Amino acid sequence: MRSMRFLRGVAVLACLALGACGSVTAAPGGPVHDWTMTVTTGESSTWYEAAQRFADTLERESDGRMRLRVFTGEQLSAGDPAAGVEQLMNGDKDFSYNSTIIYAGIDPRFGAINAPFLYQNHEEADRAIDSGAREAYERLCAEFGVTMLGFGESGFRQITNNVRPVRTPADLEGIKIRIPGIGLFTDVYRSLGANPTTMNFSEVFTSLQQGTIEGQENPMDVISSAGLAEVQEYLTIWNYVYDPLILGMNQELFTSLSPADRQIVLDAAREANEFQVQANRKLEQAQVAEQSRLMEVTELTDEQVDRFRQAVRPLYDEYAEVWGPALTDAVTPER
């Protein structure tokens, strides 16, 4: 608790120094808003491109009354994504793009959609989201003071390391892998024989460079935009976790807007999310090709993937109680 108060203080000081804290002033055409938004990644990512597109649309459609400043690298929470989500919940910032995995560090129910090998492809994930997962996550976000403005997409998560190519569960034995701070991922990698460790993503590049860790897992957009090929030798494409992004807005802020202004926000968010998902998928294969020139790339066959799926299958029974039947049903694909 003390550390969170400290981080909030840091964020407030950063906002004051940068002139970035959310605020509202009166104007003849309606209230003028100055808002803040954060993304975990850098300016070369589709997350940032979509967030900036969101900001531009808000300003245009509101005739300049809605001004949104986007910060990369979780600058307002000292590089800590989980602390950044708590800021959003508490109203210390206004918007964010964050993975459901980060939310799961606050409440493990958010990790239901990140179950290992749950979806075989984007089409399965899309059907599950459209058939009830989106609404389930909107309700879950509301419990924590966040209005969910839809899903973006971080994509399917892949794994890199400096020890050996990963083709079978045995290949992960003993490799020190950085994972996000979510119990599900710890259990997945321990069940596969790896040595998982958690740290903020802002520390990953240096830790790989110094040999503190030997590998990490992330979607292609993050692997590419962070330049991880500079410090990694092997990349395995196994699509083991689907990773959507929550475009979140502080709930109290959303409800304080007029109906017309809420609609501007909703429309701008929908357009930004659609752009981000399409851009991410378009880039994904190009990024795999790009990384294959920089690392040794292994793309697993369906049969190879199934060996991993069977190895982690017991975790589904364990986590079904954590996620609850309604959320588990909402994210389960129809086959």
Average pLDDT of 215-229?
Answer: 94
Asked if the model's pLDDT at residue 223 lies above 60, the reply is yes
pLDDT at 23: 66
pLDDT at 25: 65
Q: How confident is the model at residue 225 (pLDDT cuts 50, 70, 90)?
A: confident
Mean pLDDT of the chain: 92
- Give Cα separations from 325 to 52, 159, 221, 322, 334 (angstroms): 37, 30, 32, 9, 16
For the chain, list the domains and their CATH numbers.
2-107+117-324 (3.40.190.170)
Q: How confident is the model at residue 190 (pLDDT cuts 50, 70, 90)?
A: very high
pLDDT at 28: 56
pLDDT in tens, 97-109: 999 999 999 999 9
Q: How confident is the model at residue 93 (pLDDT cuts 50, 70, 90)?
A: very high
pLDDT in tens, 250-290: 999 999 999 999 999 999 999 999 999 999 999 998 999 99
pLDDT at 10: 47
Average pLDDT of 177-197?
Answer: 96
pLDDT in tens, 294-326: 999 999 999 999 999 999 999 999 999 999 999
Q: How confident is the model at residue 21 (pLDDT cuts 50, 70, 90)?
A: low
pLDDT at 285: 86
Q: How confident is the model at residue 235 (pLDDT cuts 50, 70, 90)?
A: very high
pLDDT at 60: 98
pLDDT at 201: 87
Of the ranges 4-13, 72-81, 103-112, which one carries the lowest mean pLDDT score?
4-13
- Give Cα separations from 259 to 78, 87, 124, 146, 262 (angstroms): 34, 25, 34, 18, 5
Answer yes or no: pTM beyond 0.95.
Answer: no
pLDDT at 70: 98
